[in-house]
Structure 1
């Protein structure tokens, strides 16, 4: 079994691999590109455990035509995903991921290696033809930098354990405010609008927005978080205003 990259050293290549898997895992849409043709797919993809991306696309649609034309051509398809901060702030784009891959019809034998969550995600896709895009190159753009992510590291990585619930808790922080939060010195002195912009297993990122611009600062958790109950506890330690999120109403978009 391949090692779990999220448990390896904390080097930048590993963090980039985890970040890339996280973006792909939670995105609701992506762009498929062949040559000069691009088509957006909405609610029509999911991640497979080995890092391949499953697409649900009718072969008789324009998007299906792209997949048919690119089928079995090494690196014949590009998938592009944009990750945005899920709460209202300036400069919401935080990452762009490009996966160049080879398209094949999804092999039913692949399901033998899928966990229950992946099977459920596949069943939630539209009831049309299933395709798999096997990555041959992965690129991550963020913070004005662009880096190649090693395919082996990408395949071995897993999404951040909080990726699926990050947006819920960011909205909760926005609704309840950040009263009582002990801020890093550069945020405390900025006198700007303060907003939470990211949560991952190791900490909370806050942004201070002023007329001159913005900057981010990170508040590390006391210990690495891998479950929702642990996240609620760590956030409560940072600010007593936070409780478990109210799931009786949808989050604002």
Structure 2
């Protein structure tokens, strides 16, 4: 592996976009030439409707009132940031173009087009795709799960590298858990001047934390049965000394 990304079972673009919306804590809104940074202000309903809680003096309220009916009037930007400190922590960005409108005393945003940019490239997500997709079932718990894995089970992360192609570990100075979803775990392999990601797929999707625990145990069982290239290299080096 170079510094690319291994392609295995992974969430579809619309599901990934909904996961970004579910997990992101902040967003930037550009409307009528102005830009506002909102924190903890957006909510998404089960059917994909998006609402913003803004101050009474927010220019976004005026943008909603003055925007031409039916025409896009705003762009929302969300960043998906890795909960574990790694190099280049932004895992994806989501832009939603659409229109702002007042509905039931709230500021509603109706997306007309979405663009999800990941290291593998950018993908357009249509409004119907976005509305009908569901976020990954582990999205809300991902930050807690990955932080616990990195802080309390570094030995487990080390064992999981036995499932990685030896060439991918060449020059590695640190391996950290980068992401987890119902389909698999992604590890960030950092080198002195570069980094790459490796995905370890689960044998079956995990829709609950309990199922994720079983899938992780299955990966560790596979790792225990595999040889460890780095351990073998260390043994050879010690023997030569």
For 2:36, what is the secondary structure of its paired residue? strand
Q: Tell me how far 1:52 sits from its aligned partner.
A: 2.2
Aligned to 2:234: none
For 2:139, what is the secondary structure of its paired residue? coil
Q: Tell me how far 1:145 sits from its aligned partner.
A: 2.2
Q: Tell me how far 1:152 sits from its aligned partner.
A: 1.9
Residue in structure 1 matching 2:98, options 91, 96, 101: 101
Q: Any conservation in 2 of the 1:72–1:103 contact (CA below 8 Å)?
A: no
Distance 2:58 2:33 in 1: 17
Q: How many residues align structurally?
A: 209
Q: Any conservation in 1 of the 2:9–2:201 contact (CA below 8 Å)?
A: no
Distance 1:62 1:155 in 2: 27
Distance 2:9 2:203 in 1: 20
Distance 1:65 1:11 in 2: 44
What value does the CA root-mean-square deviation take over the aligned residues?
2.3
Task: Compare the two structures and name the one with the higher helix fraction.
Answer: 2
Distance 2:58 2:188 in 1: 42
Q: Tell me how far 1:189 sits from its aligned partner.
A: 4.0
Q: Quick check: which has more Rg, 1 or 2? A: 2
Aligned to 1:180: 159
Aligned to 1:249: none
TM-score (norm 2): 0.79
Aligned to 2:45: 48
Q: Any conservation in 1 of the 2:61–2:107 contact (CA below 8 Å)?
A: no
Within 5 Å, give how 1:153-168 maps onto structure 2.
153-168=129-144
Within 5 Å, give how 1:197-212 maps onto structure 2.
197-212=178-193
Within 5 Å, give how 1:11-22 maps onto structure 2.
15-22=12-19
Long gaps (5+) in structure 2: 1-7, 222-241
Residue in structure 2 matching 1:150, options 111, 126, 137: 126
Residue in structure 2 matching 1:65, options 62, 67, 70: 62
Judge which range, 175-184 or 129-138, deviates more.
175-184
TM-score (norm 1): 0.75
Q: Tell me how far 1:65 sits from its aligned partner.
A: 3.3
